[in-house]
A = this chain, B = another copy of it.
């Protein structure tokens, strides 16, 4: 109880590394990645974290998501001094953050953990609705109007894309987004129908910029009959992005899960 006694038991304020999982409805945000004066998810979470930890704190995502893209399980890491249980840190994120962004979990991890570099893969799901999406999911799927999709054709086309390939023909073309390694492995690419709803699910080692939306755009054109399934093989092998591959709208895309060993 004396000052001398207190000095013998200093509060253990060690820097810890945290892994956090976050879900968001991307509709109202300008993507994940921090930008000057922009309403991005990273910026919002960093502003909140600075308040919680009483210190400017950078967070590191598993990767960016584009403006309008959603996430069920985006992962980020950060370092900070926090001596309460991580659960309290997760709960602290719930205040003064739009309720369309929800930090689902926070845990202490080894200091070697890196949300991007430690990831072994990612699962994305792209949601499509024939006809009009209902008022209850129109923020979360791409509505095709009167068009019908031939899912078997799409599945036939997908077979050309599964595996390890140079995906340049299915990536964005802006120089600042050039990926030094265009070779990615798609472990899974499935198309499933449930009534008027069609889902494209992909799991892969990594993705180039706009790759999932480009794969979805091309597969939708195959499903509409605009592209023959085999054409996807020719496009892939061309290693050139052309107007043959449209980029499907952001609203249909979810970053579903990031895999770690």
Contact = CB atoms under 8 A, between A and B. Distances in A.
Interface of A: 23-25, 70, 72, 94, 99-102, 132, 134-136, 138, 140
21 contacts: A23-B134, A23-B135, A23-B136, A24-B135, A25-B135, A25-B136, A70-B135, A70-B136, A72-B134, A72-B136, A94-B132, A99-B132, A99-B135, A99-B138, A100-B135, A100-B138, A101-B135, A102-B132, A102-B134, A102-B135, A136-B140
A132 B22 CA distance: 13
Nearest to A146: B91
A136 B99 CA distance: 10
Given A70-B135, A72-B134, A102-B132, 18 more contacts: A23-B134, A23-B135, A23-B136, A24-B135, A25-B135, A25-B136, A70-B136, A72-B136, A94-B132, A99-B132, A99-B135, A99-B138, A100-B135, A100-B138, A101-B135, A102-B134, A102-B135, A136-B140
Contacts of A101: 135
A72 B136 CA distance: 9
Q: Name A's interface SS.
A: loop
Contacts of A25: 135-136
Nearest to A133: B99
A24 B70 CA distance: 22
A128 to B, nearest CB: 16
Task: Say how many copies of this protein the assembly contains.
Answer: 2
A168 to B, nearest CB: 33
Contacts of A135: 23-25, 70, 99-102
Contacts of A136: 23, 25, 70, 72, 140
A94 B131 CA distance: 11
A100 B100 CA distance: 18
A25 B25 CA distance: 16
A45 to B, nearest CB: 13
A132 B94 CA distance: 9
A65 to B, nearest CB: 13
Contacts of A94: 132
Contacts of A100: 135, 138
A24 B132 CA distance: 13
A135 B135 CA distance: 15
